[in-house]
Chain A
């Protein structure tokens, strides 16, 4: 594709215009999306007094101890580790369960399959804040209060609607013919899933995984409700460690937020790298 664009750009005036327009769009958006991060970085190096005086000033002296504060006071290291393990397990389980369900719905025509899809996807609309009492009851009944397994199970479940919507969308776009050959060769239900559909849906699975990972990483309400011991707390609780009843230590909170961004950006970059390798290994859509 690169060749095509370069060729065009070299050839005509409209190509040049296209190229300029393209870069204007790219850079404008980059500025728009980088701005919050830059602001956060600068603000996290200020004192609270400087921040109150003007949210857009630069720090007189960079306050690196905000980061030390954030790390030592809130025990962020343990919390990040907890969040990573919760997010990784809940993402893997979620995507696998969603892929199985999507395969059944997308690749087979049976009566009521759209009803199943509706049941699965309607959950996306549920305002989760309204379910504190039922969720708390469930986990107290099965004796999983104050445990990270509660979060792993809950996150696997609450991400299902979105994962099913995304993965089904990708599986629907795979042509029927590709399974038919395998079917004729005697490849069964499970063989076609593991050997054909799953590998071909890789981009869809990764996209769903990206969403799910970020959801797990950012979830706060239930992390706070269902855990109480320090060893079970996640990073979002760490960020709120600096907001108290009447006062908030903003600069330390911003430092904690910056620290919390790093693993999720790494996770995102890792997932997206998988998509590139998917791109070169041969495409199938048509």
Chain B
């Protein structure tokens, strides 16, 4: 299929609106963020040029590196735990067990509940005095391992991670939509050949929804890098920055009226994220067409 002249006009016309919005709301603001990342700026008075100083400062900050490390662990968890879990749930629900429509809505519920409420709930669950988790442990005779889960430097980050990774609603929606597009005749043919359910999922479903899986992995990685609200509300990075992440780090710089530093951190985040998107697409690209 050759690209005709009409196609060429069409492509320009179709890219134009998105391009315009992206220019105004992303590229120009990012440029301004990029420029001010080389300035010492408190957000109010005139910025002073300071070269690479903001970058040097964040690179020599232990909290920045701890935040970056937490982000990377989160990305790994999102790609290796969250998306596979969402895939399993999507495949299970796509077999349409009794009441599956209700479950599909139920699984999505946490995404529509305001983050404030979810954070308040989990901080109460992990609380050491009246928390549900400690109560449960005492009930099953594990009273020794009770602790202040979010206040203990050893357990705080794992606890935050667990709470974050088990909400799979978004990815399940994408994967179920992908599965719903598969032609049932594939399964019928496989059943006649005597394939087991697991074989069918492995050999039919997964290859056919690889684009949806790629979308999920991309989004999961990106969301993991952008994580902010739930941590801000749940631990605010504590105890002693053990649960800090990059966006929280840059938010704190903003609160300190250090806009130069915050913008340098933003640039690092944008660069890392773009890199991650490219890597994910490369990883999946082999399997395309």
Contact = CB atoms under 8 A, between A and B. Distances in A.
B256 interface: no
Interface residues of A, number: 106
B277 A173 contact: no
Given A133-B43, A254-B117, A214 B111 contact: yes
Contacts of B196: 8, 14
Contact of B173 (A29, A129, A210): A210
Q: How large is the interface on B (under 10, 10 to 19, 20 to 34, 35 or more residues)?
A: 35 or more
B270 A122 contact: yes
Contacts of A130: 33, 250, 254, 262-263, 266
A284 B130 contact: no
B106 A30 contact: yes
Contacts of A134: 28-29, 32-33
B177 A207 contact: yes
Interface of B: 1, 3-4, 6-11, 13-15, 17-19, 21-22, 24-30, 32-33, 43, 88-89, 92-97, 101, 103-118, 120-121, 124, 127, 130, 132, 166-167, 169-170, 173-174, 176-178, 180-184, 186-188, 191, 196-197, 208-212, 214-215, 218-219, 222, 225-226, 228, 247, 250-251, 254, 262-263, 266, 269-270, 272-274, 277-278, 288
A126 B22 contact: no
A124 B211 contact: no
8 contacts: A1-B96, A1-B184, A4-B95, A36-B113, A123-B22, A134-B28, A217-B112, A272-B105
Nearest to B185: A283
A191 B212 CA distance: 26
Given A130-B33, A130-B266, A275 B121 contact: no
B265 to A, nearest CB: 8
Contacts of A173: 178, 181, 209-212
Interface stretch (A75-83, A226-234, A256-264): A256-264
A266 to B, nearest CB: 10
B17 A97 contact: yes
Given A18-B197, A133-B43, A104 B14 contact: yes
Nearest to A243: B116
Interface SS of B by simple majority: helix
B154 to A, nearest CB: 24
B173 to A, nearest CB: 6
Interface of A: 1-2, 4-5, 7-8, 14-15, 18, 22-23, 25-26, 29-30, 32-34, 36-37, 39-40, 54-56, 97-98, 100-101, 103-105, 108-110, 116, 118-127, 129-131, 133-135, 138, 154, 156-158, 160-162, 164-166, 169-170, 172-173, 176, 179-180, 183, 188-190, 193, 203-204, 206-207, 210-211, 214, 217-218, 236, 239, 243, 250, 253-254, 257, 260-261, 264-265, 268-269, 272, 275-276, 278-279, 283-286
A108 B11 CA distance: 8
A5 B106 CA distance: 23
A97 B21 contact: yes
A206 B10 CA distance: 24
